[in-house]
A and B are shown apart, each in its own frame.
Chain A
C-alpha cells in the first residue's frame, strides 16, 4: 500500500463523511427547536466553530514548518513532509470552507492557496532565491502557498529536495504558518465579540455567512470538481492527459474535497442527537437546518436535510478509482443543493439570493 493511500485512510478516520440519517417530521417536531436569531447564529460560528479550527490550523502549519526544516537537515524523509503538507491542507480547508470574517478581509485563500500555480513564476522565484519572509513578499501568490509547495514536494527528482528548493519550500511553509497565526489571533478576538451590541455588524456578518456557505459549496462543486473535468473535455486535451484538479494526486484531492464538505456539512446539518437536545444558544454551533426549523420551516428543513445527505453520500462514496463521470454525478447532486439553497433556503433565512430575485445582473 502506498504512503499516499495510508495518508488518505488516516485522514478518513478523523473526518468521516458518513451521511447523517434524515430525521422524520415527527422527530423534528419534538421537542420544539427554539427560534435562533442572527446574533446567536454568529456566536455559534465565531465562538464555537472557527476558533478551534483556526487553532488546529496554526498548530498544523507550525508542524509543517518544523517538518520542512527537518527534511532540509536530512532528518525527515520527503514522504513525511508530504504527509504533513496534506494534513495541514485538510486543516486549512476545514477552516476555510466557507471563508468568513478575517479570511475574507485578508483574502487568505488568495494568499496561501492560489491555484493554479504558475510554473514560470515559481521558476523565477526559485532563481531569485529569497532568503527571508520579508523577501517572499515580493513573490506573487501564484508561486506560494499550498499548491506551489505541493508542486515542490511532488514533482522534483529524487527522494529529497535540493538545498535551494528546500530553503524556498521552508519559506513557503513559514508564509502559511504566518497566515495561520494571524487568522488564529483574529478569530480568537472575534470569539469575544458580543454581536447583539452591533446590529449592523451582525446583519452584515450573518448575510456573509449565508452567502459564503454557498460560495464554499460552489468552490468545491464547480471550481474544484466539475470545472477541471469540463475544461479538460472541451479544450481538446490529449487523451491520457490527466484532468488538472487543484491537487496533484487523487489522494490529495479526495482528502481536500472531503475536508471542505465536512466543514460545510457541519454548518448545514444538525447532528442526530441534536433533534432531542437542540443546540443551546450561545453554547454551540447552530447549523442552517436548526435555523430553518426554528423559523417553522419544517418541510423546507426536511428537504434541505435530505439534499445535504444525498450530496454527502455521493462524496463519501468516491474512491481513488472513481471515474470522471462519477465525479460529475456527484457535482450534479451538489448542484441540486446549490439551487435549493439559493432559491429557497437563503430566502427563508431572509438573505435572498434566488435565481429570479434580481440580485444584480
Chain B
C-alpha cells in the first residue's frame, strides 16, 4: 500500500474521531451550513425556473402590427413585402379584419352574442410578425419593434416587450438579492466553520503538541482538521438538498397561485444532478475554506 493511501486512512480515522469527540459543535456547524444553503438553494431554484421560463417564452415572441383601416389592399400587400425585408423578421402573416373578428368570436365563446349588435367590424387588420430565432430575446424584440415603428400604414405595434423586460427586471432583482444573500450567508458560514474548527484545534492542543513532538509535519497535523471542515460542509450541503427536495415535493404544490404568478403555469423543475452536486460541493468548499481560515492562525507546536 502506498504511503499516501496509508496516511489518507489515518487522516480519515482522525477526522471522524474529531467529529465524534465534539458532536454538538459539529452538529451546529452542519445545521448552520445547511440552513444557509437552503436559503441560497431556494434562490437558485427560483432563478433557474424563471430563467427557464424566459427561454421557453422566446419561441412564442412575436410582434403584431395593427394597420390603418384606410390602407388599401394593394398597400397592405406592399407593406407585408416591406416588413419581410426588415432585419430580424423571419415570417409575416397578414390577418384580415374578417379573420380578426372570427378569432375574437371564437375566443370569447358565448360572449360572441355581444358582437351581433355591431354595425361594422371594429377590429383592424394586422400583420403577425415572427422573429428570426436569433432575435427571440428582449433586445432582439426591441430592435425589430424600433425598425417597424413609423412605417407608413402601421397604426400601432404590440409585442410582449414590456412584459419580458419587466420579467427580466424581476429575475435580475431576485438574482441580485440571491447573490447578496449568498455572499453574506457564505461569509457567516465561513466564520462559523472557522470558529468550530478553531475550537477543535484548541481542544486538541495536547494532541497537536505530541504529534509535533514525534515528527509530524504541519500538513500531517492540518489535514484531519481540513477533512473535518470538508465533511461538515458536505453534510450541510446534503442536508440542504434533502430539505429543498422535501419542500419542492411536499410544500410547493400547496402554493399553486404563487407558482402560477411567477412561472405562468409552467411546471417547476428541481435541480439537475450537476446542480445538486454543485450545492453539496459548495457546502464542502465552505467547510474547507472555513478550516483553512481557522488553521491560518497556526497552532502551538
- Do A and B make up one complex? no
List residues of chain B with CB under 8 Å of any chain A CB: none
